[in-house]
Structures are given as C-alpha cells and as structure tokens.
Amino acid sequence: MSISIKSPREIDLMRISNHMLCDMHRELEKLIRPGLPTIELDRAAAAFIKEHGVASNFLNYEGFPASICVSVNDEVVHGIPSKEKILREGDIVSIDAGIIYKGYHSDAARTYGVGKISPERQKLIDETRNAFFEAIKAARAGNHLFDISNAVADYIEPFGYGIVRDLVGHGVGTELHEEPQIPNYRMSKRGPRLQPGMTLAIEPMINLGRGDVVWEEDEWTVVTDDGSPSAHYENTILITDGDPEILSLY
C-alpha cells in the first residue's frame, strides 16, 4: 500500500480547497427547511462552485449526475438530488461534497435535521459526529491507520448503532479517492504507520438500526437494509508532527 505524503505546497492548496468547501457547507446548511426540493441544494452548490472558479469533484465522477450528494433518512450516501425529493419536517439529510482547487481535492460530509426532529435522530447525528472526533485522537504520527478505525468502533458500539462496513474512508489529494482505505469498524491488524503529510478523509457512517446496506436501482444511492435512518460525518484531515489538522473545519 502506497500512501502519498504531501509537500508543504500541496498541503497549502488542500487547505484552501477544504476551507472553501467548509464555506460552501455553511451556505447549504442555511437553505435546509421543510418543503425544499433537494435539487435546490445542488443548484446552490453549483452556483457557489462556479462563483469561486473551482470544480466539483463529484459531478460526472464515474457518471454521478450532480455536484453534491444529498441523502435523506435511510439513504446512507450518494443520494442524487432531485426536484421530486422534498425535505419534510422531521427528516435528516446528509450533504457530502468536495471541491477541486488547482488540482487538489477536498471532501467533507455533514448530517442535519430538517425542522424539528426526534431526540432519537438528533442523538444519532450527534454521536456520529462525536465518533469522528474520537477517531482523530488516534490520527497522530507514530500511531497506525487502524487505530483510527478501532476508535470509531470503540465509541459507537456501546450505543447499539449499526456501523456501515461496505463503505469506508480514504486518502485524498490529487485524486478524490487515494490509498489508504479507512474502515469504521474494528480491525484485527494495526495497518501502516501514520506519517506527517498524509491527508485522510475520515467518515463515520452510522445507522440507527443494523449496519447492512443495499444499492438502489440508480446504482448510486446506498440505503439501509432495514429502512432505519443513517448519519454521516466526514472531514479531510492532515497528519502532522502533533495534533491532526482538520482541513475542512476552521
């Protein structure tokens, strides 16, 4: 497994890309409300991307037809925005997005409540986010890759939630998906040693029910097998000589 080590120049470009993506997520969050067709989130993202002279790394990626992924309720990831898919009070919605700036990728996802949501769904969102922050405590030079995976599992398992095993985090840089793959479930081996300059997309995907998922007929949208809600939280991080830097959160 070859994991790229980014130069200071590359890190600066990735930092800009991710900060821009963070700004876009903030703008999209403001739009979320009951009655909103999810296509409007995609249109807003496309307008932001055009205004800033960058590109979406999701649009046309292996044929994906939108600038961002918008996944509602039991949709885990890769939901396709649509004018027919309307957000409703009590829904939860995940937005997964990325930007290419001067050849360097950013990648981040957030899950939001639509209007007033149930305490059960809010807790799922909160604990999925918390799992990310537990994971990055292990994302330090000298530790091993799967220390990150085990940290997510250690945090989530006591809640009885389902951890998605079919989809994982990944390296990111000049490509959207680089080595290594980063599972969110417990691993028996420790994996490669983490080094300064590695850039990783860590992304817990957690279901209120079981962790099993299926692909819908569009061959993109991944949904929970049991119909339970799912939450997704992702940031691009940089391994440093000290604490990791969250590039897509500032």
- Report phi then psi at 76, rounded to 5: -80, -55
The pLDDT score that the predictor gives to residue 1 is 74
The pLDDT score that the predictor gives to residue 113 is 98
On whether residue 32 sits in a domain, the answer given is yes
The pLDDT score that the predictor gives to residue 64 is 98
On whether residue 2 sits in a domain, the answer given is no
The pLDDT score that the predictor gives to residue 39 is 98
- Mean pLDDT, consecutive 10-residue stretches, the chain (250 aa), reads 95 98 98 98 98 98 98 98 98 98 98 98 98 98 98 98 98 98 97 98 98 98 98 98 96
Nearest to 202 by CA among 158, 126, 149, 240: 149
On whether residue 249 sits in a domain, the answer given is no
Query: What's the total number of domains in the chain?
Result: 1
On whether residue 117 sits in a domain, the answer given is yes
Nearest to 178 by CA among 109, 234, 236, 96: 236
Q: Is the dihedral of CA 32, 38, 40, 41 positive or negative?
A: positive
State yes or no: cis peptide before 65, omega within 30 of 0.
Answer: no
On whether residue 247 sits in a domain, the answer given is no
Nearest-5° Cα angle at 175, 43 to 98: 25
The pLDDT score that the predictor gives to residue 46 is 98
On whether residue 99 sits in a domain, the answer given is yes
The pLDDT score that the predictor gives to residue 36 is 98
- Domain span at residue 15? 8-242
Order of all β-strands in the sheet with 245-246: 178-182, 169-171, 199-202, 235-238, 245-246
The pLDDT score that the predictor gives to residue 204 is 98
The pLDDT score that the predictor gives to residue 152 is 98
On whether residue 44 sits in a domain, the answer given is yes
On whether residue 167 sits in a domain, the answer given is yes
Q: What is the CATH number of the domain that holds 123?
A: 3.90.230.10
